[in-house]
Structure 1
Amino acid sequence: HDNFGEDLIINVKNGDIFYWDKSGGKSARAEKLSSRSGADAKTPTVAKKVLVSDVDRHVIAFGCDPEASIGTQDPLLIRFSDQENPKVWESSATNTAGGLRVGSGSEIVTALETRQQILVFTDVSVHSMQFLGPPFTFGITQLSENITIISSNSAKAVDDIAFWMGYEDFYVYDGRVRKLPCTLRSYVFNNFNLDEKEKVFAALNSSYSEVWWFYPSASSSEIDRYIIYNYLENTWAFGTLNRTAWVDRGINDYPVAASTDHFLYQHELGLDDGSTEPAQAINAFVESSQIDIGDGDNFVFVRRIIPDLTFDGSISNTPSADLTLKTRNFPGTSYHTTQTTEVTRSATVPVEQFTSQAQVRLRGRSFALRIESDTAQVQWRLGTPRVDVKKDGRR
C-alpha cells in the first residue's frame, strides 16, 4: 500500500487494487480502483504490488494486467497511471500513462522506493526504475543478476541504500549490488522454515541505525526470531520475538509493532518486558567469540578483569550485571572453567562508579567474555573491558 496525498492506495498481493478516500471518513470502506467513478477501462485489476512515485506522483502497479488483456496478470509487467491522476491508465499522446516490461526473471517479487529511484526485484535480478519525463515517462536499467530475495516484504530502504534478505545471503545496494557479510548467516539459514518464507519482513529502527528481519525458525509456522544489522557499526545481533508488522518512529515517538497475540507494542520504551502483567525483567546478554593468543598456539592464564560498563538510564537504585569469563582448550570442546563476577554501580555523583576490578584464575587455549543481567529496571552499555592475560603452559 502507499499514500496518495491523504488517501490510500491498497493492493492485495496478486489481487485487486483498492482506493480509500479520506474525505469519506474512517467509516468509509476502500473500493476497487477500477470501479471508482471516472476510472477508465484500462485500470489494472490485479497486481503484485502498488506504490506511488513521490517525486512525480504516478501510481505504479507491478506484476499487473496489460492494457490489451485486462484481468490476465503478467508477472513481469509494470504499468503507471497518468501523472496526478490514479483514474487514467490508458496510454495516449495526451497523458503520461504507460508501461514497461522487466527483461529478466520469471516474476516481479517486490519494489522499493528510495530517495532517487525505485528498485524493482525479480526472483533473479534487481533493476533501477527512474522518472525520465515525456515522452517515455519512466526508464528501467538492470543493476544486477543472480541475486535472490526471500519475500515481498524483506527489503528496506535507508535513504538511498537498500538492504534485503535472500535465500542464503543478505544483500545491500549502495550504488552497486553486493552481498552483505554476515557473521550469523549459518545461524539464520540453517534453522529457517522456507515453507513460511513469505511471512518474512524487514523493519527499520532508525533511532539505533538498525535493520531488523523477522522470520520463522524451522520448527515454527509463525515468526519467532529476528536478526539485526547495525549499518553504522557494521555489527549483527539476534534474538527471539513474535512480530508480524512494524512501523518505525515518525508520527509516533517510538516504533510500533504487531504481534501474534493480537496486541500492538511500543518498542524502545521502558526497560522491562511489557508483554506480561506485571512487566518482567528482560534477560539480556552480550557474549564475545573466542579470544586467544598466537592464533591458539599457546595457552593463556587469565588473572584479572577490569570491567567497563555504564548503567546510565537504569531506574533501579542498585543496578548490576554479571560478567563471566570462560575458557576451553580446543574449539570443539565445551567450556571447562568459568568464573562470574558481579559488576555493581556504587555511585552516580560526581561521576558514575562501579566495580573497579575482579581477580580471577583461569587457564585455557582460548577464552570468551559474557555480560548479562536479568534484573528489572536495569539497562547497561558495554564499553571496552580489559582482561589481564599472559602466555602460559598447561600446568
Structure 2
Amino acid sequence: MGPSHTTTLNGALNSSATTITVVSTTGFAASGAIGIDAEYITYSGVTPTTFTGCTRGVGSTAASHASTTPVLQFSGATGWGQSAASGVASQLRLWSQNNYGQDLIINPRGGALYLWKVAANPNEYNRAVLLASTSPAPYTTDTSCPSVCNSVAVSDSSRFVLAFGCNDYGETEIDPLLVRWSDQENYALWAPAITNQAGSFRLSTGSSIVAHQQTRQEILVWTDAAIYSMQYLGPPYVWGFQILGDNISIAGPNAKATAANITYWMGLDKFYMYSGRVETLACPLRQYIFGDINLQQQYQFFASTNEGYNEVWWFYCSANSTVIDRYVIYNHLERIWSYGNLSRTAWLDTPLREHPVAAGYGGRIIYHEDGVDDGLTNPPSAISAYIQSADANIGDGHNYGFVWRMIPDITFDGSTVDKPSVTMTLKPRQNPGSNYSASASPTVASTQNYSGQRNYTVQQFTEIVYVRVRGRQMAFRISSDGLGVQWQLGVPSLDIRPDGRR
C-alpha cells in the first residue's frame, strides 16, 4: 500500500476517538484507510474536515497523536493473485516560513498556514496555531484564509502574506498555479472586497508553482515550465504578473539564490541567471553535474550564498545517492566554477554572524570558514583539501612540453603550525583521453625520469622549485592533509618549453 493524499490533524487525538478532525479532507476517498504515525485506521465516511466511522489500530496499535501530525491516505492494497508494486520516490515535505514582524508564518508543503507568535513572557513559548483560527486585535478571523498551500511568503516592502499553489476563495481543492494574497498589513483577511487589497491570480504557463524568490524590486515565481515577475501595483489590481521566459526549469523549491542583486538557479539540465532578463549561465561543469544527478531527489537540492567569497553554492544528490553528497560553486565575481563532495542539509549566510552556518545529516550545526581543522571530530582532525586544474598544453598540443622549474606563489596565512606545507603535483599525459602517467616517486626530485607524475613538497617561504616533467598535456594539483595547515593559492608560474612531438 502507499500514501496518495496528505493532511494534518486539527487538534490532539486520543486513542479511542472514532471521529478524526483534520485541516481538510480534500482529495481523500469517501471511505478507505489512513495512517497517522505508525497507526493504521479505516474510516467509512468523510465531511470537509472529519473522518467518521473510524476503526482504530487496524493491524497496529491505537495511540494518541498530537495536533498537526500528518495524516496520510492509503490505497491500492495488494493481495493473493496481484503483483506487488515497486518502490517509488514521494515528494519531500518541505516547510516555508517568513517573519511577520516578530511573529512567524509557517506552511508545510501541501498543508495549512500557521502562525507562531512571540510570547509576552520571554520564559514562555507558544505553539503555532492555524492562521485561519487566529483573531488578534485589530484583526478578525476570516475563514477564507487558504486551508491548503504549497508555500508561503511575506512581501518585504508592502507586507502582504502570499500563498503560492493554494485553494481558491470559497473552494477546498488546491490549485497548484494559483497565487493568493491577504489584505495589506492584515494576515487574517483574505476575502477580496472593494474595501481591502486581498485577491488572487492564476498563472497560465505550467502545471504547478515550484518556487519563488524575493528580489529588490520584484518577486520571481517559477512554475515547472516558466518564470514570472510579480510586482506590487497598488489598487485596484494590487499585484501584476509578467512572464519573463517560458521553457524554463528549476530543480526544486530551494534551488535558487540571489547575490549582488542577481538571481541564480539550477534547472533540470543547466544553470540560469536573472539580472533583468533570463539568461543561461555558461558552466564548464554542466556535463559532469547533470550527467550524474538524482533528479528523483530534486526537492532536497538547495542553493545559498557565501558572500564573503562572492560565491553561490548548490548542494545536490549524485545519481547513486538518495541524500545530498555533492556541491557546485559559482564565483560570480571571477566567474569561476568549482565542485566537490560534501553533505549538508541547510545553509545560512547572514551578516548577523561572522561565518556561514550549515546543518549536516549528523544533527550538527557547522560553522564554515572558521578554523583550519575538522571540528566534527574530537580531537579535531586534518582536512584533506585540494585544487586541481584542467589539462593545459602548448601550441595546441602539437608539441610535448617540458617543465623545468616552478614558482609556487602560495601563502600560509592563518596556519597554526610552525612549518605548514602543501604538495604540488604535475600530472602529465601523452594524449587527450589517455591516463595520467603513474607516479615515479612520492618524494621530491629523486629521479631523472622525464615522464611520470611528480609530487613536490612546498613549504612556507619556498620561492622556487626545480622540476623535470614532460607531457603533451598537463594538469596542476595542490593538496594538503596536515593538521593546522591553511593556504591560499595565487598565480603559480611554470617554465615550460617545447620538447618534440613524440
TM-score scaled to structure 2, two decimals?
Answer: 0.75
Query: What is aligned with 1:74?
Result: 175
Q: Is the 8 A contact 1:272 1:376 kept in 2?
A: yes
The whole-number CA distance in structure 1 between the counterparts of 2:414 and 2:422 is 14
What's the CA shift for 1:59? 0.5
Superposed counterparts of 1:1-395, under 5 Å: 1-23=97-119, 27-37=125-135, 38-69=140-171, 71-336=172-437, 337-345=452-460, 354-394=461-501
Superposed CA deviations along residues 233-290 of structure 1, whole A, max 9, x for unmatched, are: 1111111111111111333222111111111111111111111111111111111111
**Structure 1: 5+ residue stretches without partners:** 346-353
Q: Is the 8 A contact 1:132 1:138 kept in 2?
A: yes
Superposed CA deviations along residues 328-374 of structure 1, whole A, max 9, x for unmatched, are: 110111122111211111xxxxxxxx112111112211111111111
> Which one has a bigger Cα radius of gyration?
2
What residue identity is the alignment partner of 2:393?
D
In structure 2, relative to structure 1, the CA distance for the partners of 1:56 and 1:313 (3 Å cut) is: same
Superposed CA deviations along residues 219-246 of structure 1, whole A, max 9, x for unmatched, are: 2211111111111111111111111111
SS, match of residue 321 in structure 1: strand
The whole-number CA distance in structure 1 between the counterparts of 2:351 and 2:495 is 46
Q: Is the 8 A contact 2:398 2:501 kept in 1?
A: no
Higher mean C-alpha displacement, 366-375 vs 18-27: 18-27
What residue identity is the alignment partner of 2:486?
Q
Q: How many residue pairs are counted as aligned between the two chains?
A: 386
Q: Is the 8 A contact 1:309 1:380 kept in 2?
A: yes
Q: Is the 8 A contact 1:226 1:239 kept in 2?
A: yes
What's the CA shift for 1:159? 4.5
What's the CA shift for 1:158? 2.1
What residue identity is the alignment partner of 2:142?
D
SS, match of residue 130 in structure 1: strand
Superposed CA deviations along residues 106-147 of structure 1, whole A, max 9, x for unmatched, are: 110011101110000000100000011111111010001111
SS, match of residue 68 in structure 1: coil
What's the CA shift for 1:180? 0.8
Q: Is the 8 A contact 1:66 1:73 kept in 2?
A: yes
The whole-number CA distance in structure 2 between the counterparts of 1:374 and 1:195 is 35
In structure 2, relative to structure 1, the CA distance for the partners of 1:394 and 1:361 (3 Å cut) is: farther
What's the CA shift for 1:394? 4.9
Report sequence identity in percent: 47
What residue identity is the alignment partner of 2:110?
N
Q: Is the 8 A contact 1:116 1:160 kept in 2?
A: no
The whole-number CA distance in structure 2 between the counterparts of 1:264 and 1:310 is 30
The whole-number CA distance in structure 2 between the counterparts of 1:279 and 1:329 is 41
Higher mean C-alpha displacement, 34-43 vs 169-178: 34-43
SS, match of residue 175 in structure 2: coil
**Structure 2: 5+ residue stretches without partners:** 1-96, 438-451
SS, match of residue 296 in structure 2: helix
Q: Is the 8 A contact 1:325 1:370 kept in 2?
A: yes
Q: Is the 8 A contact 2:399 2:501 kept in 1?
A: no
SS, match of residue 34 in structure 1: helix
Q: Is the 8 A contact 1:287 1:371 kept in 2?
A: yes
The whole-number CA distance in structure 1 between the counterparts of 2:376 and 2:141 is 46
The whole-number CA distance in structure 2 between the counterparts of 1:244 and 1:174 is 28
Query: What is aligned with 2:73?
Result: none
The whole-number CA distance in structure 1 between the counterparts of 2:424 and 2:202 is 58
What residue identity is the alignment partner of 2:128?
A
Query: What is aligned with 1:351?
Result: none
What's the CA shift for 1:99? 0.9
The whole-number CA distance in structure 1 between the counterparts of 2:151 and 2:350 is 24
Q: Is the 8 A contact 1:48 1:110 kept in 2?
A: no
Q: Is the 8 A contact 2:406 2:465 kept in 1?
A: yes
Query: What is aligned with 1:349?
Result: none
Bigger relative contact order, structure 1 or 2, given CA contacts below 8 A and separation 6+?
Answer: 1
User: 4+ residue runs of structure 1 moved beyond 6 angstroms?
Assistant: none
What's the CA shift for 1:60? 0.5
The whole-number CA distance in structure 1 between the counterparts of 2:472 and 2:260 is 45
Q: Is the 8 A contact 1:8 1:20 kept in 2?
A: yes
What residue identity is the alignment partner of 1:221?
T
